[in-house]
A = this chain, B = another copy of it.
Amino acid sequence: MISVGIIGASGYTGAELARILCNHPEVRITAATSRQHAGQPLSEVFPSLRGRVDIICENLSIAELCEKADFFFTAVPHKTAMDLVPQLLAAGKKVVDLSADFRLRDVSIYEEWYQPHSSSQLLAEAVYGLPELYRHDISSCRLVANPGCYPTSIILGLAPLLKAGAIEAQTIIADSKSGTSGAGRGAQVGSLFCEVHDGFRPYKVGRAHRHTPEIEQELSVLAGANVHISFTPHLLPLSRGILSTIYASLVPGFDRQKIDALYRNQYQNEPFIRLLQEDTFPATQYVRGSNFCDISFKIDHTTNRIIIMSAIDNIVKGASGQAVQNMNLMHGFTETTGLTSAPLFP
């Protein structure tokens, strides 16, 4: 049984951590911070948690936090995270950081897309928290950089292909669609019900979204070469869910059977990856509320392209669920603990 603190509990990913952890048999939530809601029970901020979560939001110093918990999830905006994390580590704590601050290994790329980095000394140490790729490193580290939601869906979809050299990396196009929880709980006109409901739109088109360098970093590692892709995010009129439709040209010699084997070899023992049969395609409604990533692919021989589709719940496998999966690994718990709920459908 470990004591866990959620730093930044009043956002959607913070609430989702509380939702998952309140049913985790090895964990007790002993701290939850929120400047805005200090003094309020978290279950008042998120009435869904009434009767399940009794922690009170506090505005705590690092010193106070470190007395209250052994393990921390930092669910705060980038820049805030880079200030907090070093102090938590210095106090001997383990951390899963859900911000972007420790995901990019190259500080110059980070600073190009975000702002100056005050803790770049930790970049080499932080492990990119995609267990399907970095399970071993995660198990023995003290700082996990929890992946972005879009990157999770795209990297998992492409990993077996890039490792095997089955696709031409420079032809990759990822057309991704996300539910609105990804925009966070900030009050802004663009996230109002009436603006989003019954509508659909692209945004940050053409190398404008900050997940681009994160995706390219990991795809480059997998490909063993610098990869640039086209990535277009879109906003779906639903709360939870990301579906990425990914296109690439096939390298000669790879057919359905071989591709199938690549996916199977990589993923057949993965507890949270579900490979779908031919002509069965993922759908966000079938992963809702779960830590699953559903993947399938289709080859179009006329254009010699493969179309890979992957679906996740953006605040579970794309954020808080994956964070708990990482915590499980870091502490030697069974990796699936607290994450076995079946998706909620309909």
Out of B230, B243, B309, which one reaches A307, CB within 8 Å?
Answer: B230
Chain B residues with CB under 8 A of A241: 198-200
CB nearest neighbor in B for A189:
B187
Q: Is the CB of B230 within 8 A of A274?
A: no
Using C-beta atoms within 8 Å of the partner chain, give the interface range for chain A: 35 or more
Copies of this chain, whole number:
4
CB of A254, distance to nearest CB on chain B (Å): 15
Any chain B CB within 8 A of the CB of A253? no
Q: Is the CB of B303 within 8 A of A228?
A: yes
Chain B residues with CB under 8 A of A247: 173, 175, 230, 247
Any chain B CB within 8 A of the CB of A346? yes
Q: Is the CB of B281 within 8 A of A197?
A: no
Out of B19, B280, B340, which one reaches A342, CB within 8 Å?
Answer: B19
Any chain B CB within 8 A of the CB of A237? yes
CB of A306, distance to nearest CB on chain B (Å): 9
- How far is B187's CA from A187's CA once the two chains are assembled, in angstroms? 5
CB nearest neighbor in B for A238:
B198
- How far is B230's CA from A23's CA once the two chains are assembled, in angstroms? 40
Q: Is the CB of A238 within 8 A of B303?
A: no
Any chain B CB within 8 A of the CB of A192? yes
Q: Convert A276-305 into 0s and 1s, putting 1 for each residue whose CB lies closer than 8 angstroms to a CB of B.
A: 100011111111111010100011101101
With A48-B343, A51-B292: A197-B238 Cβ-Cβ less than 8 Å: yes
Any chain B CB within 8 A of the CB of A38? no
Q: Is the CB of B281 within 8 A of A198?
A: no
- How far is B345's CA from A196's CA once the two chains are assembled, in angstroms? 11
| 11 further A-B pairs in the complex, CB-CB below 8 A; given A236-B237, A341-B341 | A12-B194, A191-B193, A193-B195, A197-B197, A198-B241, A199-B283, A200-B236, A202-B243, A202-B282, A202-B309, A230-B307
Q: Which of A's residues lie within 8 Å of B, judged by CB?
A: 12, 15, 18-19, 22-23, 46-53, 170, 173, 175, 177, 180-181, 185, 187-189, 191-203, 205-207, 228-230, 232, 234, 236-241, 243, 245, 247, 274, 276, 280-290, 292, 294, 298-300, 302-303, 305, 307, 309, 311, 340-346
